[in-house]
Amino acid sequence: MRTGARLAAATVAACGILAAPAAAAVTHTIQPGETLSGIAAANGLTTDALASWNGVSSDYLVIAGNTLAVPTPGEAGIGTTTATAAPAPAVAPAPWLGAIPSPWGDLYLDAGAAAAWNSMRQQALSDYGVDLYPAGPMSAYRTSTQQGDLYEMFLSGVGAPANPPGYSSHELGVSVDVATPEMRDVVDQIGYLYGWGKTEAPTEWWHVTWSG
């Protein structure tokens, strides 16, 4: 597959949007003083919808001179923050993978990591009233090809930080990018009971890892 086509496919998969192709979105060059929330509001979108479309977190710090893909509200699911109709990444379950629930359907982790995550999620719900789930369809296990696509997006200035393929714990199925700081706070409090915690990527608050 050509690089351009792969990047377009990765953009849709990473953002979890079942809508028109990403190429239909307008490219916005970020100006000094602009924020992600301000750009979203100016285009009739929620911050979460714009962030999801671009594969970044909702508190992503935009940098003047970089670009964002700005969809229409219809393309972005009319700016909604839910993604129940979005497809899960095209990853065939393998014997070593276990499922975890998400708004996009089952996503996958290493079987041990998945079992620990699901137990931690149950305690989070019962003790804190907080659900734990990945921020998007590409926020748990990724294939090397998917990781490579995200890395190319990062290098091009339109994606969140991503390691090159072969250097991401997502490819091992032992990391999750959580959706909100509240989820991360709960993982900080109880994750050690299940082998989950913040052990890498210190600049990425959303990234947590299972150590077994």
pLDDT tens for the 212 residues of the chain, in order? 433 434 434 443 343 333 333 335 688 888 776 778 778 777 777 888 888 787 777 777 777 778 888 887 766 654 333 333 334 444 456 889 999 998 878 999 999 999 999 999 999 999 999 999 998 888 999 999 889 988 888 888 877 788 999 999 999 999 999 989 999 999 999 999 999 999 999 999 999 999 98
Look at residue 75 in the predicted model and tell me its pLDDT: 66
**Pick from 137, 121, 109, 142: which is nearest to 210 by CA?**
109
| Residue appearing with tokens 């710090």 | 61
Bridge pairing between strands 26-29 and 107-110? unpaired
Model-level pTM greater than 0.85? no
Domain boundaries, the chain: 17-70, 97-210
Q: How far apart are CA 194 and CA 32, in angstroms?
A: 43
Tell me what pLDDT residue 78 has. 42
CB 154 within 8 A of CB 160: yes
Structure tokens at 69: 């893909």
Whether 88 contacts 80, CB under 8 Å: no
- Cα–Cα dist 130/190, whole Å: 12
| Separation between Cα atoms, residue 194 and residue 212, nearest integer Å | 8
Strand partners, 146: none
CA pair distance 21, 136, nearest whole angstrom: 18
User: Three-state SS across the chain?
Assistant: CCHHHHHHHHHHHHHCCCCCCHHHCEEEECCCCCCHHHHHHHCCCCHHHHHHHHCCCCCCCCCCCCEEEECCCCCCCCCCCCCCCCCCCCCCCCCCEEEECCCCCCEEEEHHHHHHHHHHHHHHHHHHCCCCCECCCCCCCCCHHHHHHHHHHHHHCCCCCCCCCCCCHHHHCCEEEECCHHHHHHHHHHHHHHCEECCCCCCCCCEEEECC
Scored b (16 or more CB within 10 A) or e, 80-100 reads eeebeebebbebeeeeebbbb
Q: What's the CATH code, domain 97-210? A: 3.30.1380.10
Predicted local distance difference test score (pLDDT) of residue 100? 96
| Domain at 17-70: CATH code | 3.10.350.10
